[in-house]
Amino acid sequence: MSAAQTSGPTPFISKLRLNVSNLPALNRLKFSIRPKDGSVTRPLSATYTKGYLRSRGYVDAEAKEITVPIFGLYDGYSNTVTLTYESGDGSTKKTSNEIITLAFDDPCHYNARAIWQPRSPTKTLSYDYMLVTTNCSGHSPAVLDTRSATALRGNTSSISRQ
């Protein structure tokens, strides 16, 4: 399965166009983004059904291609994204892709934050990401991992089909 990357509206969003040889058998597609080195957060992941992607115009059955929006990428970083393809019979196949993102111009200074008490690698939290809103720019809300690295910024419409 080959992949071609297209940048999204911010460095935190990208689209992978995948050539899937047995597209009719595909039922779901899950992506998972490996956290930054040194982070104790769990991977950010999401699962799309083929029907959902088809309803958004992301499935081209004739070309055997499917486009997958990947959100929650770290800016200015080589993100490792694992794709898990699930067939109707429950069988799975995994592939890995590197998505390199540009640095984000940070008008709200999220990357210059003061960390009063860093997260301990020995403590388990019930969450790994938090939503932070601000009115300092049009790039709100922001999603930070509990290591306080920014994983997503932008208005909620930036995730919609562009």
**How does pLDDT run across 105-118, given as a tens digit for each residue?**
877 777 776 667 77
Q: Report pLDDT for 127.
A: 80
The mean pLDDT of 16-34, rounded to a whole number, is 95
Q: Are 36 and 147 within 8 A, CB to CB?
A: yes
| Cα–Cα dist 136/15, whole Å | 28
- The CATH number covering residue 82 comes to 2.60.40.3100
Q: Residue 146 — very low, low, confident or very high, per pLDDT cuts 50/70/90? A: confident
Q: Report pLDDT for 156.
A: 42
CA dihedral 93, 80, 4, 105 (to 10 degrees): 150
| Cα–Cα dist 131/91, whole Å | 34
Q: Residue 148 — very low, low, confident or very high, per pLDDT cuts 50/70/90? A: low
In a domain, 162, yes or no: no
| Cα–Cα dist 31/90, whole Å | 17
Count up the domains in the chain and report the number: 1
> Coil, helix or strand for 135?
coil
Q: Report pLDDT for 160.
A: 40
Q: Residue 151 — very low, low, confident or very high, per pLDDT cuts 50/70/90? A: low
User: What tens digit of pLDDT does each residue of 30-65 get?
Assistant: 999 999 887 788 899 999 999 999 999 999 999 999
| Cα–Cα dist 102/113, whole Å | 20
Pairing of strands 59-60, 78-87: unpaired
In a domain, 89, yes or no: yes
In a domain, 138, yes or no: yes
In a domain, 95, yes or no: yes
Q: The domain containing residue 51 runs over which residues?
A: 2-157
The pTM for the full model equals 0.81
In a domain, 66, yes or no: yes
In a domain, 133, yes or no: yes
In a domain, 152, yes or no: yes
Q: Are 6 and 148 within 8 A, CB to CB?
A: no
In a domain, 77, yes or no: yes
